[in-house]
Every structure is written in structure tokens, then in C-alpha cells.
Amino acid sequence: MADVTLEALLQEGRTFPPSEDFARGALLRDGRLYDVAAGDPEAFWATQAGELLDWSEPWHTVLEWELPFAKWFLGGRLNASYNCVDRHVAAGHGAQVALLWEGEPGDARQITYAQLLDDVSRCANALKALGVRKGDRVAIYLGMVPELPVAMLACARLGAAHSVVFGGFTSDSLRDRINDAECKVLITGDGAWRRGNIVPLKEIADAAMTETPSIERCLVLRRTAQADVAMQDGRDFWWHDLVDAQAPECPPEPMDAEDLLFILYTSGTTGKPKGIMHTTGGYLTQVAFTHKYVFDLKPETDVFWCTADCGWVTGHSYIVYGPLANRATSVMYEGTPDYPDKERFWSIVEKYKVTTLYTAPTAIRTFMKWGTQYSDAHDLSSLRLLGSVGEPINPEAWVWYWKNIGGGNCPVVDTWWQTETGAIMISPLPGTTVAKPGSATFPLPGIGSDIVNDEGVPVPIPGGGYLVLTQPWPSMLRGIWGDPDRYRDTYWSRFEGRYFAGDGAKRDDEGYFWLLGRVDDIMLVAGHNISTTEVESALVSHPAVAEAAVVGRTDAMTGQAVSAFVILRSGNEPTDALVTELRDHVAHHIGPIAKPKTILFAEDLPKTRSGKIMRRLLRNVAEDETLGDTTTLADPSVVEGIKARYLSTSPDDEG
């Protein structure tokens, strides 16, 4: 489909109801659940907890809310690994595939629920042998191999909290996270595959472990089989020696609903990462609920693929806990979208007949930049539902995804949530919600959300301001590890009695929620608040543009001026004429006030390792300041390159 047509679709303000076919087969075909939940949210969540999970001991109280501290399902006992594995095997589904694993240098493995039970039990026994006890913390630093979810579930089985650290982090980042949580054991590998190269995980872990006094033992998985992996006697143990020798039975520890399940550090888009704590009963309830209904899961027939890394919350909730609790069959992929070629994702969809794909705007914009020839070369007709998470999805990218990947037949669910929320909070329900490209639509049943102004007063519809959550939800964070004050300050002090998400949002005249970007990023130009997301989406709606980031920089005339960094789709030239055209394009779509004062063409944008644009660093560039904390950047050279080019071009050549 030509881009002109895409733009026409957007300009119509076209809405996208689910197809009749999809709606007819959907788990939820109307909005009744919203009313049920609104009537009595606690009773609603209690029903979900009872229906979706197995408890060894029932709860006596659904919710205890001492602002800002919530406890859900008090007195209830359950084990997360039992709920994700054992009970499915006990119910006769041991032969169903849990993980369809696609490895990097052409490896592939299929792991059934029965096999997963053996693997998790053996790993749990090995951790026990290494001294791990209920209440301990275990750090996990691995690539995307099946042993990563196995290790997470093994910790959950024993009642030890895991802290997964993304396998692309440096030794300093790993060290800091281990020390913050005082982890007792580190699980890592000899190496991880990355675009045909080996990331020497153990070497990096060794560097970290010179300064992690709490680590007593290290369990090492052989993945890449390099020749020289240093093993420290008494501290380091090979997985294949220790785990494989264990018995495949290990009784799951009955955990209190409020026992810590894991700590996970946020992506660090806005600053120093926070060690977010999630507990067992409420977290598992909401990830199972959202995975089932947002993705309309049919465990018998669906093949679910969430392309995130287990090092991020999306991987925790929608590769591990949600899908496994719901007995899904999932694809797990070790590599990147561009290796060995740009068709990789689409050949995986075709190979495994993926029905449900959950990915991020950063990936979708990359696919837009590359062009449609790669997806066109594959049969994607197995897909029936598409999801997006991580950043606001530009309307152009939404329609591109819907049309070129979904073939115009698949609902797209744009899901807003955070590490802190644990599970999806704002999203369409695909069988009933009429979608609008770029809008995450409505809070899910059982979720209370509002948009308020500076004083905390709800903004009437239509209107914009700060996104807040107005009532506790089961998978909410229980705090920041070791820092209750920061917990209170960050989330609960800005607006009394409400959770401040840190994101701006607006509601249109039909009450649809539109996420507008980080509050810290919002620009103030000549007295007008301008959202980064809206200017970026206007730029991306131009046929030459694949991706854009905008920031405000100090301006003598207007207080702040809009500075844009633009990546072109392949086949377009970065000319002065295009700069003028893009500025006019933004003026036409939003208004002259939003017109970027400067536009710099770039090859790439500074992103976190989870793929989010880090605007604060671009702001540093635009303001000619020294760069702030860059430790969570995927590739520090990108921002250095942009800085050099920015300084060599005159930023004030446009009026």
C-alpha cells in the first residue's frame, strides 16, 4: 500500500473496530466487564485471582490499603512456579509445548510443560545446593536462552527473589544492581550470542564480582562453548555439572501472596534506575488476567510471541509469568531483528505460525525505515492480533503495522504500562474496543485512571495533563528496594492520594487516552505546552521520515524552541528543501507554534538498551551541555556522533 494512502487513512481520523470475524471468536465481545469491575473493583480482582490461579491457602482479605502501601490477597498462599508449570502438567497438558525457542546460530529447541517442570525442579535443587533459601536474592545475567525463564521459575519455586539484569549491560551496571539488592548467587553463562558475535558474559560477571561482597556462588551455563572460561574454585559451578545431576523433583514452597517474587530495575530512560519490587499473588493475578484478555489467548491454538528481552518487565510479565500461568505456547527468540538478515522476524512468524505478536514501536519504526520488501517476502497469514509496548506508537507506525504486518485483518493493541505497574493498565480489549491509531484507548477493567492538571484537579474531557492512577491495582509495585522514601516521593507526593506515572496524556472528546510522552520532556514554547509525541508523530507522518525525536531548547524569543532529530526512510536524501518541507508539514498538522526551529538529520537516535529514545541526552546536545548519565544507553557512540554534527551545523539558521 502506498504511503499516500496511509496518510489519507490517518487524516480521515479513521477508527478501527475489530473485524466481525475476530469479534465473533473473541473471549470478550462486549464491554460488560468494565461495568462489573467498576461496580466493585476488589470483588472483580478477587474473582480473577480465584479463576486464573491455584492457591494452596485462600486469602481472608482482598485488599489492605494504607496509602501508599497496598497488600493484596492477605493470608493467601500460592507458588508462582507451581502456577506456571506443575498444575498444567497435573491437568494432563505435559506434552504441550511451553517454549518454542529460536536460537542465534540456527539452534532451535521445543520445551514442553513436562520438560519445563523437570528443568525448573533440577535448577531449584541446584540453587538449594548452592545455599539459596527462601527470602534470598539471586541475580540472573544471561542472554535469551530457555535457562533464563527456568532460572527465574526455580527461584520462585524456592521463594528466593530474582533480579534479572539484561545481558547487554556492562560489568559496572551488573555490579551496582547486585550490590543494591545484596544478591547471594549469580547465574550467568560463558557467553551470549549477539549478531554472530559472542558477548563474554562470564568475563563481564567476573569483573563485576570483584566488587560484589554478597555473592557467594556463581552458576555458569555453557552456551557458546568458548575455550577459555575462568572458573573460580569453590565459587563457580557449571550448570551442566550441577543442575543436570539433580533430581527432577523439588516441592514448591508455599509463599505468602505478599512475599517478594522479584526485583527489577527500570530501564533508566529518565535517570538512575529504580529497583522495583513485585510480590507474588497480586502480580500473578494481573499478568495472567491481562495476558488472557488483552491478547485474547486461546491456549489450544495460539502461538504467542513477545519480542522483548527477559531483562525488562515486558519479558517478565509477557514471556514468563503471564503466558506460562495461562498455559500458552510461546516463541522465545535469542537474537535481534536484523541478524542474519532483515527478514528474521518474518521468517520466525512464518516458521512457527505465530498468531499473536507483541513488539515495540522502536522495532516497528525500524521496519518502516527498511521498507516492506522484507515482510512481503513471508507468509504472515497466521497472525491474528498485534500488540505494541514501550513508547507511544506514532499513528503512522500503528497503521503501517496494521497494514503491512497484520494484512489489515488484525486488531492492534497499544498497551500502556510500566515496570512499576507490573502489568498492562491502559489498552484496548481487542474483541470489543474500536481502536484509534496512536491511542492506548481506555484503562482496563479494574483500573482507575485519570488526567489531572498542575493542582491535581481532574481535567475535563477533552483535555490534557498528567496521567495518574486513582486506586490500587493487584500488580502495583510494593516499593523501591531499600528506599521507601524514594517510593513515596517519586510516585505518591506529586498528587495527594494518587499514583503519578510521570507521563503526560490527554483525552479526546470520546474519552480515549492518548499518551503524550514524559512529563519531563514536555516543551513550553511561547507559553504553550507542546508534547514531544505529537510533534514526533507529525514528523513521522511525512513519507520521508521513519523516526523522529524532539526536545525543547532554550530560546531567547520563545522561552523554548523545538529541536528535531530525524531519521529518514531508505531512499530519501537529507536536503535543505526537505528541512523546509518538514517544518511546514508540522505547522500544517499541529500549528505554526510547534514548527521545529532546527531539524538535524541523523543516522540513529540515542536509545536505552530496551530501545526507548533518551530525549534528555538530546536536550543536553541541543543546549550544548555535557551529557548526563549514559550508562543505560545501548550505544554511547550514537549520541557522541549527533553531538559532533550538531555543533558543526548552525542551529539558528531557520527563523
Binding-site ranges for Mg ion (CB under 5 A): 266
CA distance 396 to 405: 13
Residue 220 near which of ligand ATP, Mg ion, none (CB within 5-8 Å, type-dependent): none
47 vs 52, 62, 446, 468, CA distance in Å? 8, 10, 11, 25
Rounded to a whole number of angstroms, the minimum distance from the CB of residue 105 to ligand ATP is 29
Cβ closest to Mg ion, residue 159 vs residue 390: 390
End-to-end Cα, the chain, rounded Å: 36
Backbone angles phi, psi at 474, to 5 degrees: -60, -40
Distance, in Å, from the CA atom of 438 to the CA atom of 440, rounded to the nearest integer, reads: 7
- Per-residue three-class SS string for 202-246: HHHHHHHHCCCCCCCEEEEECCCCCCCCCCCCCCEEEHHHHCCCC
Give the C-alpha separation, 534 to 399, whole Å: 16
Give the one entry of ligand ATP, Mg ion, none that residue 389 binds, where binding means its C-beta sits below a cut-off of 5 to 8 angstroms depending on kind.
Answer: ligand ATP
Kindly state the smallest distance separating residue 608's Cβ from ligand ATP, in Å: 6
Q: What's the rounded Cα separation, in Å, for the pair 8 and 387?
A: 23
Choice between 500 and 601, CB closer to Mg ion: 500
Single-letter amino acid, residue 612: K
Residue 503 contact partner, candidates Mg ion, ligand ATP, none, CB within 5 to 8 A by sort of partner = ligand ATP
Q: Please state whether beta strands 236-238 and 255-256 pair in parallel, antiparallel, or not at all (unpaired).
A: unpaired
Query: Residue 140: what residue type?
Result: I
Instruction: State the cell numbers at 28.
Output: 470478550
- Dist CA 469 CA 588 (whole Å): 34
Residues 154 and 148: their CA atoms lie apart, in Å, by 10
Which of ligand ATP, Mg ion, none does 326 bind, CB closer than 5 to 8 A by kind?
none
- Nearer to ligand ATP by C-beta: 143 or 392? 392
Q: How far is the CB of 49 from ligand ATP (least distance, A)?
A: 24
What minimum distance in Å lies between the beta carbon of 487 and Mg ion? Answer: 13
Least Å from the CB of residue 251 to ligand ATP = 34
CA distances from 251 to 124, 241, 279, 338, 419 (A): 9, 22, 20, 42, 30
Q: Which triple of cell numbers denotes residue 112?
A: 514442553
284 vs 412, beta carbon nearer ligand ATP: 412
Q: Which is nearer to ligand ATP, 286 or 419 (CB)?
A: 419
Minimum Å distance from CB 270 to Mg ion?
Answer: 6
**Residue nearest Mg ion by beta-carbon distance:** 266
Question: Which one of Mg ion, ligand ATP, none interacts with residue 48, CB within 5 to 8 A by kind?
Answer: none
- What minimum distance in Å lies between the beta carbon of 518 and Mg ion? 8
Q: Which does 440 bind (CB under 5 to 8 A by kind): Mg ion, ligand ATP, none?
A: ligand ATP
- The residue among 270 and 441 lying less far from Mg ion, judged by its C-beta, is 270
Q: Are 451 and 466 in contact (CB under 8 A)?
A: yes
CA torsion through residues 129, 135, 141, 146, sign:
positive
258 binds, among ligand ATP, Mg ion, none (CB under 5 to 8 A by kind): none
One-character DSSP codes across 382-407: T--EEEE-SSPPPHHHHHHIIIIITT
For residue 414, the partner it binds in Mg ion, ligand ATP, none, with Cβ less than 5 to 8 A by kind, is ligand ATP
In residues, how long is the chain?
Answer: 655
416 binds, among Mg ion, ligand ATP, none (CB under 5 to 8 A by kind): ligand ATP
Nearer to ligand ATP among residue 184 and residue 616 (C-beta)? 616
Compare residues 352 and 401 and give the one whose CB is closer to ligand ATP.
401
Q: Which does 268 bind (CB under 5 to 8 A by kind): Mg ion, ligand ATP, none?
A: ligand ATP
Which of 171/418 has CB closer to ligand ATP?
418
Q: Provide, rounded to whole angstroms, the least separation between the CB of residue 336 and Mg ion.
A: 24
Count Cα neighbours of 373 within 13 Å in the Cβ-side half-sphere.
6
Q: How far is the CB of 364 from ligand ATP (least distance, A)?
A: 12
- The grid coordinates of residue 53 equal 490461579
Q: Which is nearer to ligand ATP, 156 or 440 (CB)?
A: 440
CB 16, min distance to ligand ATP, A: 16
User: Which option in Mg ion, ligand ATP, none does residue 224 bind, with CB closer than 5 to 8 A by kind?
Assistant: none
Residue 297: DSSP 8-state: -
| Distance (Å, whole) CA 592 – CA 572 | 25
Min dist CB 446 to ligand ATP, Å, is 18
Positions touching ligand ATP (CB under 6 A) are 266-271, 273, 312-313, 389-392, 414-416, 418-419, 440, 501-503, 515, 518, 610, 612
Sheet with strand 385-388: strands edge to edge: 108-112, 97-102, 330-333, 304-306, 356-359, 385-388, 412-414
- On whether the CB atoms of residues 202 and 209 are closer than 8 A, the answer is no
Q: Shortest gap between Cβ of 502 and Mg ion (angstroms)?
A: 6
Closer CB to ligand ATP, residue 248 or residue 271?
271
C-beta of 19: minimal distance to ligand ATP in Å? Answer: 22
Q: Give whichever of 48 and 314 is closer to Mg ion, judged by the CB atom.
A: 314
CB of 420 to Mg ion, least distance (A): 7
Paired with 387 in beta bridges are 358, 413
8-state DSSP, 442:
S
Give the DSSP per-residue string, 73-85: EET-EE-HHIIII
**Binding partner of 113, given ligand ATP, Mg ion, none, CB within 5-8 angstroms per partner class:** none
**Which C-beta is closer to ligand ATP: that of 68 or that of 390?**
390
Q: H or E element: which one contains 462? A: none
By C-beta, is 218 or 405 nearer to ligand ATP? 405
Q: Which listed option, Mg ion, ligand ATP, none, makes contact with residue 537 (CB within 5 to 8 Å by class)?
A: none
CA dist 610 → 312, 595, 628, 647 (Å): 7, 29, 18, 28
